[in-house]
Amino acid sequence: MKSIEKEISLDRRAFIKKVLGGTIAGSLLLVIPAGAMELEHIPEQIPGMRKEIGPFITGKKFAFIVDITRCIGCGSCCVADKNEYQVPDGNYRTWVERYVIDDKDNVYVDSPNGGLDGYQKPRKDLPY
């Protein structure tokens, strides 16, 4: 009986090691830039596109993580992103869309000001 318990215990350890190893490897993929995605490796189809022509084409890589299970529709995630990266008015790097499906399976999508204004007011124009 003890040999079975020992074998199960070893299997649990091996499983935990593999899960932790996969988690670490996955986390590294977020931090280490992928070589194929570097600007230098993309064929230049429009002359001059590889030059830094503004705040949106640079050597920087960005990541933005939001726990959507805690979203209350306030739009502060979009505001934070816009402020952090000095995105000019009228441009959206990050936006939030709201999808509403009525009883007849019609889909309504809206994104007020790219989500910057949030979703505080319920939509009155929907026929549901």
- Please check whether residue 116 lies inside any domain of the structure: yes
- Please check whether residue 68 lies inside any domain of the structure: yes
Q: Which two tokens stand for residue 126?
A: 């929907």
CA distances from 106 to 112, 127, 128 (A): 19, 10, 10
Q: Can you tell me whether residue 94 is helix, strand or coil?
A: coil
- pLDDT tens-digit readout, 44-55: 554 554 555 555
- Please check whether residue 105 lies inside any domain of the structure: yes
pTM above 0.85, yes or no: no
- Please check whether residue 97 lies inside any domain of the structure: yes
When mean pLDDT is compared over 4-8, 16-20, 47-51, 76-80, the highest value belongs to 76-80
- Please check whether residue 126 lies inside any domain of the structure: yes
Neighbours of 77 (CB within 10 A): 20
Cα 6 to Cα 113: distance, rounded to the nearest angstrom: 59
Range of the domain at 111: 51-128
- Please check whether residue 1 lies inside any domain of the structure: no
- Please check whether residue 99 lies inside any domain of the structure: yes
- Please check whether residue 75 lies inside any domain of the structure: yes
Instruction: Report the number of distinct structural domains present in the chain.
Output: 1
Contact indicator for 75, 121 with CB cutoff of 8 Å = no
- pLDDT tens-digit readout, 23-45: 877 776 666 655 545 555 555 55
